[in-house]
Copies of this chain bind each other. A is one copy, B any other.
Amino acid sequence: MGTKERREREREELRTKILDAARELFASEGYEAVTMRKIAERIEYSPTAIYLHFKDKEAVLREICDADFGALAHGFSAIARIPDPRERLMATGNAYAEFGLSHPNHYRLMFMTPHPPLSPEDSAIERGNPEQDAYAFLRGTLAEALAGGRLRPGLDDLDLLTQTVWAAVHGVVSLEIAKGNDGWVDWRPAAERVRLMIDFITRCLWREDADGGSRGAER
């Protein structure tokens, strides 16, 4: 009687095969190159077969996004063990930037293109869980610093802080992705821009100017 289970499993297999093909195509050739017909060719099915598993193309890409959001947050797990919130914040920023700079096509889809996200019940991510939700992870680190009284006075709106810190690093990454190859500007290396930005933000947030001391003044 296990036939039903087998069917379900096969269904799921094809579903993930579609997602994998789409992700790969998308990562290597960019958003515009992802067509239903190309995905279909890669998995050796007809284009319409995809519609048995996804409502439309948007749904495929949103699901890729959703999975990558989870992967990003999960990538922070090693960082989560850093005890000092300030060090943890800096490491988070660096890891985030590295993710974006090494997966520009994914980053573009995830953070630079407006899509309505998956509805919460369809998402694989548990909102607010720092192990799955990168925003929650960052917010948690800042909450800890705030609760410990280590931030500058007046900085008390936790969401505002989280969003601003995020925006700062996102600014460097997204500008690099969108304009890094344009030749109009004499770009400094992206890694340096990331470092300076994280340094700026950390210094702006924290009360004391020098911490444990491993990282000195930039430059």
Residues of A within 8 A of B (CB): 111-117, 127, 135, 154-157, 159-161, 163-164, 166-172, 174-175, 177-179, 181-188, 192-193, 196-197, 200-201, 203-204, 217-219
A127–B174 Cα gap in the complex (Å)?
22
A164 B193 Cβ-Cβ under 8 A: yes
Please report the C-alpha to C-alpha distance between residue A127 and residue B218 in the assembled complex, in whole angstroms: 30
* CB proximity of A191 to chain B, nearest CB, Å: 11
Q: Are B114 and A177 in contact (CB under 8 A)?
A: yes
A170 contacts which chain B residues (CB < 8 A)? 171, 174-175
**Secondary structure of the A contact surface, majority rule:** helix
Inter-chain CA distance A179–B117, complex, in Å, is 9
Chain B residues with Cβ below 8 Å from A117 are 182-184
* Given A171-B172, A174-B112, A178-B111, A160-B184 contact (CB < 8 Å): no
Q: State whether A160 and B197 are in contact (beta carbons under 8 Å apart), knowing that A114-B179, A178-B111 are contacts in the complex.
A: no
Chain B residue nearest to A181 in the complex (CB): B114
Assembly CA distance A193 to B114 (angstroms): 19
> For residue A188, which residues in chain B have a CB less than 8 angstroms away from its CB?
157, 159-160, 163
Query: Is B157 within 8 A of A219, CB to CB?
Result: yes
Q: How far is the CA of A187 from the CA of B139 in the complex (A)?
A: 13
Show 18 A/B contacts (Cβ-Cβ < 8 Å), sorted by A. A111-B179, A115-B182, A116-B181, A154-B217, A160-B192, A161-B196, A163-B188, A164-B172, A164-B193, A167-B175, A168-B197, A168-B200, A170-B174, A170-B175, A171-B171, A171-B172, A171-B174, A200-B200
Cα distance A219–B151 in the bound complex, in angstroms: 14
B196 touches A164 (CB 8 A): yes
**Contact B154 A218, beta carbon cutoff 8 Å:** yes
Chain B residues whose C-beta falls within 8 Å of the C-beta of A197 in the assembled complex: 164, 167-168
Residue of B nearest to A139 (CB): B185
Nearest-Cβ distance from residue A142 to partner chain B, whole angstroms? 13
Among all A-B residue pairs, the 7 with the closest Cβ atoms? A171-B171, A167-B171, A200-B204, A160-B188, A167-B172, A170-B171, A167-B175
